[in-house]
Amino acid sequence: DVKVTQSSRYLVKRTGEKVFLECVQDMDHENMFWYRQDPGLGLRLIYFSYDVKMKEKGDIPEGYSVSREKKERFSLILESASTNQTSMYLCASSPWLRGYQPQHFGDGTRLSIL
Amino acid sequence: SQQGEEDPQALSIQEGENATMNCSYKTSINNLQWYRQNSGRGLVHLILIRSNEREKHSGRLRVTLDTSKKSSSLLITASRAADTASYFCATDARLPNAGGTSYGKLTFGQGTILTVHP
């Protein structure tokens, strides 16, 4: 069974802090994704990566960066956390299979910025 | 607006009834997927339908796709209280390159909240 593990279920940080959210998948998937989920807005893609050291901006990359040094790990970085980044963050992975790419999600990190 | 938009936003039914959720989208797609999310958890993939398919079944789930209307529906038959969750459609947009492939980047709708009463 595919497992996508996010390092924390709940996290509380202060404004201005540098925050790291970690995600690890165990299925050798090429693609990895970071989303944020807010009430009424659904899931919005922040960044994705289709290979080690590769990254692509999603729909809302401002205020975030990512790192993918190893295939199984994809990190989301909030360079200087702000209160409007309080949200549920979801990581996902998928294989690179043309025309058939279901995503597997972690359980999410609920991040509060005070 | 979102590529995938679900309708209704919320649905409340009794156990044993059928639940139908609809999804509309705007661009050409490679496939359309449905996901389920239990409260406070991640999303779980339910079913994928390719752009050249019209209907697909998986257990109590039935998905239809009408590419001419750019719409899809998810039917859950004989619903159970355990089906209570949020349901999202997601589209894998076809890129305007020669192969029409994509990186599997999905665009999600805002979801339908389904409540099934025992």
Q: Going from the N-terminus, what domains does chain A have, and what CATH number goes with each?
A: 4-113 (2.60.40.10)
Q: Give the model confidence (pLDDT) of A38-76 as tens digits.
A: 988 889 999 999 889 889 999 899 999 999 999 999 999
Residue A10 near chain B (CB below 8 Å):
no
Query: Collapsing DSSP states into helix, strand and coil, what is residue A106?
Result: coil
Whether A58 and chain B come into contact, CB under 8 Å, resolves to yes
Measured distance CA(A15)–CA(B61) in Å, rounded? 44
Question: Any idea how long chain B is?
Answer: 118
Q: How far is CA B92 from CA A44, A79, B72, B100, in A?
A: 14, 30, 13, 11
Contact B42 A90 (CB under 8 A): yes
Q: Does B82 touch chain A (CB under 8 A)?
A: no
Average pLDDT over residues B89-94: 83
Q: Min CA distance, B32 vs chain A (Å)?
A: 10
In 3D space, the residue among A33, A32, A35, A51 whose CA is nearest the CA of residue A43 turns out to be: A35
Residue B92 contacts A, CB cutoff 8 Å: yes
pLDDT of B2: 39
* Domain that residue B107 falls in: 5-117
pLDDT value at B94 more than 70: no
Give residue-wise pLDDT tens across range B8-27. Answer: 899 999 999 999 999 999 98
The confidence score (pLDDT) of residue B98 equals 46
Spatial neighbors of A62 by CB under 8 A, at least 6 apart, are none
Please indicate whether, in this complex, the C-beta atoms of B43 and A103 are within 8 angstroms of each other.
yes
pLDDT tens digit string along B37-75?
Answer: 999 899 999 999 999 999 999 999 999 999 999 999 999
CATH number of domain containing B13 = 2.60.40.10
pLDDT score of B95:
61
Whether the CB-CB separation of B53 and B39 falls below 8 Å is answered with no
Interchain contact, A56 vs B42, CB within 8 Å = no
In total, how many domains does chain B have? 1
Better-scored residue on pLDDT, B6 or B114: B114
